[in-house]
Structure 1
């Protein structure tokens, strides 16, 4: 608790899925949180907490370096969590340029602004397991090359390498996180498989699987991600971790069909999923090793897939019962 008390922290993407949870936890720990917000998201999970009134909102986009520099300077920022991104694979395939601008240009703007700010002591950049691309051997570990092939994957590979560049060239105190597919209550991107499936069941409709259902992913509960981000930021200076990347995962492997069926079972539904078999420009099989985080940080996830899904289903039931969509 004492580590964050009174610290000035910038969170990009604070109204997003992970950002809303991280912002609320930082507030609970006594930090002074500044959020960089491009678009108003009225139903953001962030606004469910009355403490949101304590968060200072800076309106601007990642592509605007001057806005970022002003936010860092005027609010005397000590720590930066760079979470904001265009995070939908399908959108990236349709609109690669806007994705590259947000995810690549946006990252170099954050890093450059932090480099110029004398008060910034730690920066956490959110990369992704997608940055590894398609690898012959699994699980992914932090020593593997970054080799995304498709627009979203490439944008995360580039952002990740930029963070490494700013450490090796300028000694910027930055660490990189690579997480599996985040899930939990508050994800308002209903084209993602978990919120889409839950919403479909609550609406009495068959869930839709875009791919053939055999894609294997590593699903990671959002509250575990928050604990990972905070612990890494807290320990990066004392353990001299600057410039390093960490995988965070509960190291499960589950394909989309199995995941959807698990949700249907937990919700007591007899609906059968519709399989479109239209997935493209996606990696077939992904999962991470968290050995480094467990050994270096003594970090371990608190939720297994069933526990995380039960909490997630409960959140969406409450959300939809309130007439929100």
Structure 2
């Protein structure tokens, strides 16, 4: 698809984004608006801490307050707004919360997904639905990096919900021919993530407060990192491919293939900040409880099939992220 075709693809397209005030959802909506889409957002909580609101883009979309766990709400939204493309990002994504309250996580992440899929099935205007899975669905694997054809071994509550989401989505594709695509993204980082327990925003907040960043592990766990604008481009590229019949029913890894230890990330953020006298405060031993030690993804399939590739280096992405938080430090940190 040429650049002009991509631009025309989204012009006046009715697009539903669930969890619209979330971190990744906000950046996705901003890009969709730039491409001329008519965006409908669904949210169950009205938080002021959202990139969409901070940047003023919430005034340019239709926001519906409702829950993905309510099927009748989902069916009404799909049909009333004649949804053509859906990005299903609403979920409980914080692993610690999922462990503390697994039933709530299962209700939101699994029931919510089957409601969205069923509502999209009975929607006559639908062209594509993208389900946000996660690299956590792979679980502990002996062979790294992760490839799409590997068995999904997610065992902990959040990880297991993403495995279930994928199985249900595949069922809707194989049974009903639903035009579904599935993303498995690396750890997405960028401005506007207000979950301070995550390593990138938590470290940046500490640095901006002139505090030593705390590391909950011994600093050795390894993760892949993906800048949010690259992730958004991955979502949009996959949706275009599914809608045009090139990737229906398939899962894709999206990663910049920047795998680093937690300690390396913290040190790099301190270096980018230019602040002197700060150092990582390592408080843990080994990996955090019930977390995967090494997560590394291959993006080869996305590169070859979708012609997608991350643009930002890790240092470039972290620098843009740091500057975003620094800009809004007085209001939100």
TM-score range, shorter chain: over 0.9
Q: 2:284 aligns with which of 277, 289, 293?
A: 277
Aligned-partner Cα distance in 1 for 2:282–2:56: 41
Aligned-partner Cα distance in 2 for 1:116–1:133: 33
Q: Cα deviations across residues 182-211 of structure 1 (Å, max 9, x unaligned)? A: 000010111111000000011111111111
Q: CA deviation at 1:236?
A: 1.9
Q: 1:48 aligns with which of 51, 54, 67?
A: 54
RMSD, aligned CA: 1.1
Q: CA deviation at 1:239?
A: 4.6
Aligned-partner Cα distance in 2 for 1:6–1:118: 17
Unaligned runs of 5+ in 1: none
Higher alpha-carbon deviation: 145-154 or 265-274: 265-274
1:206–1:273: 8 Å Cα contact kept in structure 2? yes
Unaligned runs of 5+ in 2: 1-6
Q: Cα deviations across residues 28-82 of structure 1 (Å, max 9, x unaligned)? A: 1111100011001112100133442121011111111111111111111111000
1:227 aligns with 2:237: no
1:24–1:52: 8 Å Cα contact kept in structure 2? no
Matches within 5 A, 1:210-289: 210-269=216-275, 270-277=277-284, 279-289=288-298
Aligned-partner Cα distance in 1 for 2:245–2:90: 26
TM-score for both structures, normalised by structure 2: 0.95
TM-score for both structures, normalised by structure 1: 0.97
Q: CA deviation at 1:235?
A: 1.9
- Structure-1 residue corresponding to 2:76: 70
Aligned-partner Cα distance in 1 for 2:149–2:207: 41
- SS of residue paired to 2:192: coil
1:122–1:174: 8 Å Cα contact kept in structure 2? yes
1:179–1:248: 8 Å Cα contact kept in structure 2? yes
Where does structure 1 differ by over 4 angstroms across 4 or more consecutive aligned residues? none
Q: Cα deviations across residues 262-301 of structure 1 (Å, max 9, x unaligned)? A: 1111112331222221611100001110000100111111
Higher alpha-carbon deviation: 86-95 or 135-144: 86-95
- Structure-2 residue corresponding to 1:2: 8
Q: Cα deviations across residues 143-169 of structure 1 (Å, max 9, x unaligned)? A: 011110111111111111111111111
- SS of residue paired to 2:10: coil
Aligned-partner Cα distance in 2 for 1:58–1:263: 37
